[in-house]
Amino acid sequence: MAQLLEFKEVAALYNSGRLAEAEAAAHRLIAARPDDAAIHNLLAVILAQQGKPGVAEMFRKAGALNPAWEEPHANLGLFQTQARDFAGAAESLREALRRKPGNAATAINLGNALKETGAIDEAIHIYRQALGPGPHQAAAYSNLGAALFDRDLAEAVACFQRAAEIQPGFAAAQLNLGRGLVHLGRREDAAAALKRAADLMPQSSEAAIMLANVLRDLGRMDEAFPYYRRALELKPGDREAGYNLGLALNHVGRHAEGLKIIASGPGIVSLSLAPPAKSPARIAIPGGPHFIGAWTLHRPGVCDDLIAFFESRSSEHLSGRSAKGVDTTIKNSTDLTVQPADIGDPAFAPVQDYLGQLESCVADYAAQWPQFASMFGHVDVMPFNIQRYLPGGHFQRVHAERMSFAYIHRVMAWMTYLNDVDADGDGGGETVFDHYGIAVKPERGKTLIWPAEWTHAHHGAVVKSGRKYVITGWMHFPPPK
């Protein structure tokens, strides 16, 4: 007959990794002491560690046997969190916190579960409760910062800063501090925080890419390249690292090398300049010649599909960037980057449909300007963006698409408005070509193509009401083979 072990002996078996023996011993002890809450709680932990059934029931039994004890409920909440049952986890962790108010670890875990359910306000309130002194203070500040990021960026950054001060080796706090400082336009400070994060997390490709991007935006290219290379070594084939390394190479004039890296990772799609089978309907823009082509897509319904595609991928949304990096005084938008390498995926069918229609527009442009068509038989498109502008959104900085040697390979810019912006009133959001006094009103399906040169400097007026959606990018010289 197997020996009946005491609780401490069962726990020692568990701690030494002898899970099967610990489980058997725990069952025997429960049979002898069916009202012992502690051994029920330990058995649940042992079962969870082995991925066996009955975990939740065992934690609940432990909690029922000792109504004043919070630990089984806290453990159940963590188990449910790992199983991605965030609503159940929130309920269990609330019960644990009710039994032991002021437990910072439980409060932080409850805040995490609430955030996953979308209850951000409640999560923020719970995180604030956990800010008191103690070993969990840095985590409370860091998690509060993450919850505040899209609501109060300045306070979020202050929280990350405090977490990093309390615990300088807290890598996630350093990383998020750097991310927040980028969004505030404090790039030098961001570079310092991200350098600390990259040093603390030498195996993190994310930290390496973020640091490299900031260094690139600061013009510190020699420092940026090793971090791009590190990211690709850590995660071979990483498209984001490849794309940004390609852009960095373009910045120092190594365009053929940069475009080759982009083509092999995120991809390049070619648009033919051969006469289209079906020409799109041209739109006349007054004045000229100004070399701004305009058309209405012959299947404008794709615009609705592209908006739905954009909204369905919210986890991939980023704050809009310009050549100056993230700066909402220059550009205030939410962007989704589309990589040509993904276009064969059935989920990207609206994008593929759109590119076919865009190809007919650029081919019709070439038919109007034969000298353009004679230069090459096709143009290339690198990763491009779908963008959303809310009221107050804009791209007010007057700019052209080829303003430095980094972008010398660009030939044309293109954009399609995906919706009418307050069609019955002055919703704003016009694209203004400043040298020509032309302001193009956003209308669903309207597509523009214009030269990337300084002659076509332009800006996006502030959206006054409603939303503005566009899909936009650049057409490039085909790189040498």
pLDDT tens figures, 79-91: 999 999 999 999 9
pLDDT at 138 over 90: yes
Least confident of 1-10, 67-76, 187-196, 281-290: 1-10
pLDDT tens figures, 366-390: 999 989 888 888 999 999 999 999 9
Q: Beta-carbon neighbour count of residue 303 at 10 Å?
A: 24
Q: What pLDDT score does 428 carry?
A: 84
What is the chain's Cα-based Rg? 28
| Average pLDDT taken over every residue of the chain | 91
Q: How confident is the model at residue 329 (pLDDT cuts 50, 70, 90)?
A: low
Q: How confident is the model at residue 278 (pLDDT cuts 50, 70, 90)?
A: confident
pLDDT at 224 over 60: yes
Domains for the chain: give ranges and CATH numbers.
7-193 (1.25.40.10), 202-266 (1.25.40.10), 270-476 (2.60.120.620)
Give the DSSP per-residue string, 128-176.
HHT-SSSTTHHHHHHHHHHHHTTT-HHHHHHHHHHHHHH-TT-HHHHHH
pLDDT at 136 over 50: yes
Q: What pLDDT score does 217 carry?
A: 86
Among 438, 440, 451, which residue's Cα sits nearest to residue 417?
440
- Alpha carbon distance 107, 321 (integer Å): 36
Q: How confident is the model at residue 318 (pLDDT cuts 50, 70, 90)?
A: confident
* Longest Cα–Cα distance in the chain: 99
Least confident of 63-67, 207-211, 257-261: 257-261
Across 350-359, average pLDDT? 96
pLDDT at 42 over 60: yes
Give the per-residue SS3 of 171-212.
Answer: HHHHHHHHHHHHHCCCHHHHHHHHHHHHHHCCCCHHHHHHHH
Across 451-455, average pLDDT? 95
Across 179-206, average pLDDT? 94
What end-to-end distance do the CA atoms of the chain give, in Å?
78
pLDDT at 158 over 90: yes
* 359 vs 277: which has the higher pLDDT: 359
pLDDT at 194 over 60: yes
Across 344-358, average pLDDT? 95
Q: Beta-carbon neighbour count of residue 481 at 10 Å?
A: 5
Share above pLDDT 70 across residues of the chain, in percent, rounded to a whole number? 96
- Identify the residue whose tokens are 């040697």: 405
pLDDT tens figures, 405-429: 889 999 999 999 999 987 556 778 8
Share above pLDDT 90 across residues of the chain, in percent, rounded to a whole number? 71
Q: What are the residues facing 335 on neighbouring strands? A: 318, 387
Q: How confident is the model at residue 1 (pLDDT cuts 50, 70, 90)?
A: very low
